[in-house]
Amino acid sequence: MSRRLTSPPVFIALLFAIASNFVVAQDYKDRAEWAALKAELITENNYDAAVLDATIACVKRQDKVITYMDAPMRAPTPWHIYWPRHIGGDRLQRGAEFMRANRASFATAEQSYGVPAQVVAAIIGVETVYGRMTGNFRVIDALATLAFDYPRRAEFFRAELKELLLLAREQKRSPLDFMGSFAGAMGWPQFMPGSYRKWAVDFDNDQKIDLWNSPADIVGSVASFLAGHGWQRGEPVMLPIAKPGVEIIASLDGGLSPRKPLREFLAAGITITSRDADIVLPADDASVGIISLDNADGQNEYWLTFENFYVITRYNRSRMYASSVWSLAYALKKAVTTR
């Protein structure tokens, strides 16, 4: 059974921290949805009612969060415009510097989880440009707003609000202290509270997990997340192929295309045009897919995508997101090993 926060010094310090953040607007303390979540936390997680009361009194609805969530859907951005936005600028330089400065952590993470250093570094670069853009919303405000005033995804964000409150208790921090994106993602890796609790690791062994200030924890946690979602050690992410036949092209839907056993694509004449010497193909019954990415000249390039490609999409379910991560990872590998 979990324990209440009954230690007087910790309990008093937590209430003081919450009280110091008190705001006039008490948007959620009398809401039925909060009452239900509060009862759940007390009954199922032995959470202290006084801490919950003090916390919710400080939570404020953020209309801007809903505005961002309801931003109009735009036409898909072409690949040749998308990838420079996500891997351009100084990301490569900052990423290479980050990898060199934390070689030991990257090496340990790769050994422990099987995820290549450049892939971990690329995720961090695409997400926050190595800590430059971690978000300036108070996470509890964002999650409460979406949990209680955004019906379309209320169930998901209610669960994440609960995870945040449990995370705060575990870390002996005020729930009001966490800052992140308008959707509640936190730290350099942009973990939601549930991912933080499940996948984040204390990689520097200092008895706490800090995804803002500990490079070791950041690196280890991203590797832990990818490994936990099925990363295949030693297998490729994506490989370029010659233009496939019209039947295969017609089957592509512009997203994460249906997958087939590798042997079926090879039997259909799919030809891998290049691969590094250290890349070994998985077994011929491995499930793979094909995606197309458009170039500035209007021509498409085609790629065979492996299980590790789909693991990357667990961060963001987008073929272009995963492709941009791999593009940056490939560039980082060359940048770090050539110096």
Catalytic positions, please? Answer: 127
Do the beta carbons of residue 269 and residue 304 sit within 8 Å? no
Between CA 145 and CA 17 the distance in angstroms is 21
